[in-house]
């Protein structure tokens, strides 16, 4: 058995090695690094690390080959794959060969530390370091500002997000299925991961599945597996994700994209806790927790006959509705600072250049409606951090759609002309009304215009004025 607390990091990029070592050494762990995967095999035999972090794509040997070789030397060693190209197949392949977990690049410092601690079976809150955060498996400690202890991926202090924290805290220790609602970009997968990390299944796999990115036949094979010869190209038998995730959690993102046939098969898994592979005849027991997510109104989809009502009730045991960013009062500056710090940690490790958000830029961020929600905010902050060439990120470093927001330094109508105050209020109302209108009609400007009682050109002009093309 390898040495607990000793980690070998294998990556052909020196910057990635240095970044991982810097983060994990502060916990502290005894970190070894190797940029040559062939030499890494000698290090594994000589040093006997308890955990190996290896990049998936490398010359000479890839991460799976390092994984299999390490398991031959020491079957008890834990291996985590690092990949910038995570897919459903990545999860299946890595778990099949015995990986403990995998992390998608770029990753947050906290995520790297958390997976290392889980691999070593460490309990309780993290030590007091730059990467400190909450404990896991429902053991709640002291959390930094903006985080609820135990739910580190989710950040916020607003009443809207605190109510989500309360639900996570209650549902995590149970085995109940959860349905997470929310607009695109609100962080549904983060909530699912927080539930898993605070549950009794935290030491087992968490496997996300995008139900709309794969064709029906491929999605069926990925979820349920297939037997050799089940269809053209099925040269070997392959386990499905419900097998790979045994004892853990499967996250079905955008579950509304499933066909009726797949909905029926999923219903059987939830009802009978059994499944069989494509082309197979043997039923297998299934022990997974299912967390589903949708940005659609599934109840309305049931009424339209697009989603099975019985499946909806099986999934919707515990519903969690995520608020859009525009309704999370006070969270935008907190999230912006967090995303800025992540970018500087991951993209500019060791640099002394660390721009901060200016008051004027923060004001623009707070007054924008964020139709793309938290994901859009993260992208805006990354762009601004790249463009900033001084000690502060200013309004000029933000996208044009934010710069066009009229300045209102007073924060109220006091001291401003009646005309200016009225114009600012109308602009705010108009933008919010337009966002809600477009979302109700899935971005169809013709239908939106009909409901609003205006012609289509008026809607087109308003969309351009408020920079809402991404909603259409």
Output the pLDDT for position 288.
92
98-122 in b/e form (b: 16+ CB < 10 A) is: ebbbbbeeebbbbbbbbbbbbbbeb
Rounded CA-CA distance 403/332 in Å is 17
Q: Is the peptide bond before 28 cis (omega within 30 degrees of 0)?
A: yes
Q: Do 1-132 and 328-403 fold alike per CATH?
A: no
Average predicted confidence (pLDDT) for the chain: 82
Nearest to 155 by CA among 140, 144, 142, 139: 144
Output the pLDDT for position 245.
87
Average pLDDT on 143-154 reads 52
Residue 95 confidence (pLDDT) above 80: no
Residue 145 confidence (pLDDT) above 50: no
Average pLDDT on 56-76 reads 89
Q: State the angle between helix axes of 37-47 and 63-73 in degrees (0 to 180), rounded to the nearest 10.
A: 20
CATH code reported for the domain at 1-132: 3.40.50.2300
pLDDT band at 351 (very low <50, low <70, confident <90, very high): low
Residue 252 confidence (pLDDT) above 70: yes
Strand-pair partners of 296: none
Rounded CA-CA distance 310/293 in Å is 16
Q: Which H or E run includes 464?
A: helix 456-466
- Domain boundary assignment for the chain: 1-132, 146-323, 328-403, 418-471
- Counted residue by residue, the chain has a size of 472
164 is written with which tokens? 């989500």
Strand-pair partners of 101: 80
pLDDT band at 251 (very low <50, low <70, confident <90, very high): very high
Q: What tens digit of pLDDT does each residue of 425-458 get?
A: 677 777 788 888 888 888 888 888 888 888 888 8
CATH code reported for the domain at 146-323: 3.40.50.300
Average pLDDT on 362-380 reads 92
- 328-403 CATH fold: Helicase, Ruva Protein; domain 3 (1.10.8)
Q: Residue 308 — φ and ψ, nearest 5°?
A: -65, 130
Output the pLDDT for position 91.
60
Q: What tens digit of pLDDT does each residue of 32-51 get?
A: 999 999 999 999 999 999 99
Answer positive or negative: Cα dihedral of 335, 339, 342, 348.
Answer: negative
Rounded CA-CA distance 254/307 in Å is 12
């Amino acid at each position: 058995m390898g040495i607990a607390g000793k980690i070998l990091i294998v990556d052909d990029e020196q910057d990635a090695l240095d970044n991982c070592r810097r983060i994990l050494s502060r916990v502290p762990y005894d970190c070894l690094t190797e940029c040559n995967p062939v030499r890494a095999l000698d290090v594994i035999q000589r040093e006997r690390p308890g955990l190996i972090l290896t990049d998936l794509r490398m010359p000479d040997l890839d991460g799976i080959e390092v994984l299999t070789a390490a398991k031959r030397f020491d079957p008890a060693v834990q291996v985590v794959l690092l990949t910038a190209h995570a897919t459903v197949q990545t999860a299946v392949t890595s778990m099949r060969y015995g990986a403990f977990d995998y992390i998608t690049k770029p990753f947050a410092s906290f995520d790297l530390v958390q997976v290392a601690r889980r691999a070593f079976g460490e309990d309780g809150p993290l030590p007091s370091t730059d990467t400190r955060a909450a404990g896991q498996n429902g053991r709640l400690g002291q959390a930094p500002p903006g985080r609820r202890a135990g739910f580190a991926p989710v950040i916020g202090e607003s009443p809207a997000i605190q109510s989500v924290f309360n639900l996570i805290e209650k549902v995590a220790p149970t085995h109940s299925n959860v349905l997470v609602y929310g607009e695109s970009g609100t962080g549904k997968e983060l909530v699912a991961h927080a539930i898993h990390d605070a549950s009794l299944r935290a030491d087992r796999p968490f496997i996300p599945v995008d139900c709309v990115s794969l064709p029906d036949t491929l999605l069926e094979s990925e979820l349920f597996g297939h037997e050799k010869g089940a269809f053209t190209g099925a040269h070997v038998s392959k386990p499905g994700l419900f097998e790979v995730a045994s004892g853990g959690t499967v996250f079905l993102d955008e579950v509304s994209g499933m066909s009726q046939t797949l909905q029926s098969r999923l219903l059987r898994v939830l009802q009978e806790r059994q499944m069989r592979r494509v082309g197979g005849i043997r039923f297998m027991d299934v022990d997974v927790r299912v967390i589903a997510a949708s940005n659609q109104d599934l109840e309305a989809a049931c009424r339209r006959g697009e989603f099975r009502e019985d499946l909806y009730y099986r999934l919707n045991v515990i519903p969690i509705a995520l608020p859009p960013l525009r309704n999370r009062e006070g969270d935008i500056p907190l999230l912006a600072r967090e995303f800025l710090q992540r970018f500087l940690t991951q993209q500019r490790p060791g640099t002394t250049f660390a721009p901060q958000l200016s008051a004027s830029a923060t004001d623009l961020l707070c007054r924008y409606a964020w139709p793309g929600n938290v994901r859009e905010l993260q992208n805006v902050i990354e762009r601004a951090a790249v463009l900033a060439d001084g000690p502060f990120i200013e309004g000029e470093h933000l996208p044009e759609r934010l710069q066009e927001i009229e300045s209102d330094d007073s924060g109220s109508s006091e001291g401003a002309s009646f005309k200016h105050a009225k114009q600012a209020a109308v602009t705010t109302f108009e933008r919010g009304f337009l966002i809600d209108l477009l979302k109700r009609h899935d971005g169809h400007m013709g239908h939106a215009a009909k409901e609003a009682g205006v012609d289509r050109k008026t809607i087109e002009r308003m969309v351009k004025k408020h920079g809402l093309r991404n909603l259409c």
